A and B are shown apart, each in its own frame.
Chain A
């Protein structure tokens, strides 16, 4: 049986179980989402939005829909996947189950960092108001997630509150007994003038295939400040489909940075919507791939109101047979005057077998706007390599210098030194060099 059919067949029993503990509202949401997924199925390459990325292989694999085996993990086992050297709140999920002993939650008057499961059952006002309100329910992968999601991270920051530590979210798959597909869900509600920074990572410890379909809804209030960092560095047996939906209030600032180093297939659907004026959105990304990996970035920025600005800086370096996709859509609606939209996608192809499909898509219906986009595809500069070699710098290190310099600018919005250092170390590790790499200033 194809995975798609297996999902559809299993829903009835799943929904029946859930009905007992969940509200009618939620049950209806699940049923409606399942109807959408049943009608559409997995996206195929015939779908313009999925032209370069096929889930066909995944559909044919025999993924279990839940895990019944988990490793008993210690803090030391997971430390390597976390940003260390700083105090943080931690939400750690092992095989789809929240692990309280590895985690460090917050339940304060002004903010909470908890598992979403409690919210599903606790049925709070803030959950009901936001859950399912931001993600595009028409998208089949979102629908699939909404139908089955029952666990994930829930961060709620009340008006004016500042979360004093980084929030780290780690999803671990440790079930080596079989291939597993999971649906996880994040809900971040950052009220007016509130602030929070979040780091999210998915990590497999299994020898078998893992397929994660994650949906994140982020509601960012007026004058709020929100940063969401993603590190995608999973095994080459993992598929990650990520749908992230951010809605911003007036004068808010929101950022979603995506740093991708590995994974068999990674698809990022990143949607920003401006609901209030004078807000700014930032999206920075490094994609540094080798082997036969694929990372597909689809961004959509909806300038629905005037006076907002969006910045997208996507840099990709593709080695061996790796493949990249960048599709950046910017919509400037009729009334969205004084919009400032910037988009840049630069790529380096290191071999003849690596490839990148890049497509800027600007739809502008207002007349007083500043929109720019640019994409480049290039190779490492031989002249620069020879220059460095002639000074005694070996080829590998010379290449690393050039690649790191190429990725410059993508770490500029990281203000947590430990996180910046972790990312620089990840890049240095991927480039296999022991160099002191300094962030480019340009």
Chain B
């Protein structure tokens, strides 16, 4: 589904990603771990199409197609979803209006008519329940004055509404208490199926107790330096990253 080959990325002349390879197939859950500044958030932003980053080499293919020249919204229409580490507050735009526009723009891109209001309402209600969200939530301005937990739940709510092929969760666990973490993880697990895939970016093992990865990759200094199964995450939790740095330098 996602195939990244020898990816190199710069921002303001500084190389952040230095030849990264990653392949994610449908039905899989991949975890990307690594110390601060390794390039984790850069990787997620580049896949989603953020323009500030300059791709200087390599390729990103999604569903067999090169997506490097696509605008962020076109990537979203193709089925890429990025859950932000810091969701942006947009005063004056309600959650309902926002998600309705997002959903119908995706439908338009696929040649479908806008979803009838009644169906949309029904779908929203179902996804709200999945994420144990309050009804009033829908009429509030998006992310404005939301708590950390509400922001992340709102991200997964949008993911549920848009039903992406690939969901990238960028530090979705940061700023969450135990209950919110459970709700968010539960939401992701319910949405997971054999035809979609999830890429989880995290510092900590605790999210991976809830969203079980098939593969764990260590991103260090702009490259994936080690890959393994879920036991690698447990080992990182126990031993930190220093032993990996030593392994590389050795």
Contacts and interface: CB of A to CB of B under 8 A. Distances in A.
B101 A393 contact: yes
Interface in A404-436: 404-406, 408, 435-436
A397 interface: yes
A394 B99 CA distance: 13
Contacts of B93: 401-402, 405, 440
Contact of B92 (A394, A397, A406): A406
Given A387-B87, A387-B88, A397 B101 contact: yes
A440 B142 CA distance: 11
Interface stretch (A59-67, A217-225, A241-249, A378-386): A378-386
Q: How large is the interface on A (under 10, 10 to 19, 20 to 34, 35 or more residues)?
A: 20 to 34
B94 A392 contact: no
A389 interface: yes
B72 A440 contact: no
Given A392-B162, A394-B105, A387 B84 contact: yes
A407 to B, nearest CB: 8
B51 to A, nearest CB: 8
Contacts of A435: 101
A438 interface: yes
Given A438-B97, A440-B141, A442-B141, A392 B77 contact: yes
Contacts of B97: 436-438
Given A435-B101, A436-B97, A441-B141, A394 B73 contact: yes
Given A390-B49, A391-B102, A404 B92 contact: yes
A187 B12 CA distance: 61
Interface string A300-313: 00000000000000
A395 interface: yes
Contacts of A405: 90-93, 141
Interface in B159-215: 162
Contacts of B90: 384, 387-388, 401-402, 405
Contacts of A384: 88-90
**Which of B77, B102, B106, B141 has most A Cβ within 10 Å?**
B102
B91 A390 contact: no
B73 A392 contact: yes
Given A391-B162, A392-B102, A392-B106, A386 B72 contact: yes
B124 interface: no
B123 interface: no
20 contacts: A384-B89, A386-B51, A387-B87, A387-B90, A388-B90, A388-B98, A390-B49, A390-B73, A390-B82, A390-B84, A392-B162, A393-B73, A401-B93, A402-B93, A408-B91, A436-B101, A437-B97, A441-B92, A441-B141, A442-B141
In the A-B complex, list the 10 residue pairs whose CB atoms are closest, starting with the nearest. A405-B92, A440-B92, A392-B76, A389-B72, A387-B88, A391-B102, A408-B92, A392-B106, A389-B73, A384-B88
Given A386-B50, A388-B102, A440-B92, 4 more contacts: A386-B48, A390-B76, A391-B99, A392-B109
